[in-house]
Amino acid sequence: MTSSHVALGPGGEFDLVRTMLARWGTLASGVGDDAAVLDLPAGDRLVVSTDSSLDGVHFRRSWLTPREIGARAAAAALSDLAAMAAAPRGMLIALALPEEWVGDVAAIADGIGDVARATGTPIVGGDITRAAQFGITCTVLGSTPTPIRRDGIRPGDFIYVTGVLGGPAAALRALERGDVVEAPLRERLARPRPRLLEATWLARHGVHALVDISDGLGAELRHLATASCVEVRIELARIPVMRGCTLHDATRGGEEYELIACSPHALDPDAFARTFALPLSEIGRARASPEPLVTVMRGEGDERVDLGEGYDHFSP
């Protein structure tokens, strides 16, 4: 990958690019040409994803600082690479920028840079355009010899989830009420962490289906069941709920960016916790089924519990 930048011409748009490059320093690489050039390890396959974050849709400006907005957008995009167990190779940033946001570009770049630095992801290009509504679109590029997909579940698989759930939903509820948000809950909303290294560990230990929890646990479990046409049977009491959150927060709230992992054999949660200081919880098993199904067990008997539909941009 080219390490130096191409010289940029004059103009306000390029001045903004120069502002971001100054904040990123060596985090940015090869910016200024018409396209980025990446070198991939021999035998790897390219994994690409795009994620957008819009003011008034994914966040409200009054809730987050510009630095948090940049970091959150970058982390959300990189989480899609984690869901495929891919190593990050590059990130492109496109900004839709109203006039009133121009003064925040440096802070937004700092937030993006925080995540790029923490994950070892070079920033290799992007675009800036004037717009009526602020938005960030992050395109992330990764690679792996064997991408892990969401359609790999087989009957008998153990189903795990990383971390604890409910923080973003609880923080959002407090913000909407105008309440003070507890620091740990706000951190989960404002500074999510893409589980890239955790996904690599899971893949190395035999996991053959993954998905990140962006739209809510219930919704993602349905996606997994549908993709593999299996029954996903979950034990309600095993779902890891963050302190200060409700089970409703944990099952229906989105933007967790934790991982659901499916393995043909039992994993070692203690080894995972020692490696990442993060819990790995077995929450259920997969079963053969003539149709996709999510069944939630409460107590001694089977009871179909509604985990919620999760977030859908176009639901009525």
Same domain assignment for residues 163 and 261: yes
Q: What CATH number should be reported for the domain holding residue 26?
A: 3.30.1330.10
Report pLDDT for 27. Answer: 83
Same domain assignment for residues 117 and 56: yes
Report pLDDT for 35. Answer: 79
Same domain assignment for residues 23 and 80: yes
Same domain assignment for residues 77 and 31: yes
Strands 87-97 and 123-130: parallel
Same domain assignment for residues 164 and 113: no
Same domain assignment for residues 168 and 72: no
Report pLDDT for 194. Answer: 97
Q: CA 242 to CA 237: how far, in whole Å?
A: 13
Same domain assignment for residues 28 and 127: yes
Structural domain count, the chain:
2
Bridge partners, residue 130, by sequence: 97
Q: What is the pLDDT of residues 185-243, one digit of tens each?
A: 999 999 999 999 999 999 999 999 999 999 999 999 999 999 999 999 999 999 999 99
Same domain assignment for residues 70 and 96: yes
Q: What CATH number should be reported for the domain holding residue 292?
A: 3.90.650.10
Same domain assignment for residues 107 and 49: yes
* Residue range(s) defining the domain that contains residue 118: 12-144
pLDDT in tens, the chain (316 residues): 444 665 655 666 777 878 878 888 888 877 766 778 888 999 999 999 999 999 988 888 889 999 999 999 999 999 999 999 999 999 999 999 999 999 999 999 999 999 999 999 999 988 899 999 999 999 999 999 999 999 999 999 999 999 999 999 999 999 999 999 999 999 999 999 999 999 999 999 999 999 999 999 999 999 999 999 999 999 999 999 999 999 999 998 889 999 999 999 999 999 999 999 999 999 999 999 999 988 888 866 555 555 555 444 434 4
Same domain assignment for residues 122 and 66: yes
Report pLDDT for 239. Answer: 96
Same domain assignment for residues 220 and 179: yes
Same domain assignment for residues 175 and 263: yes
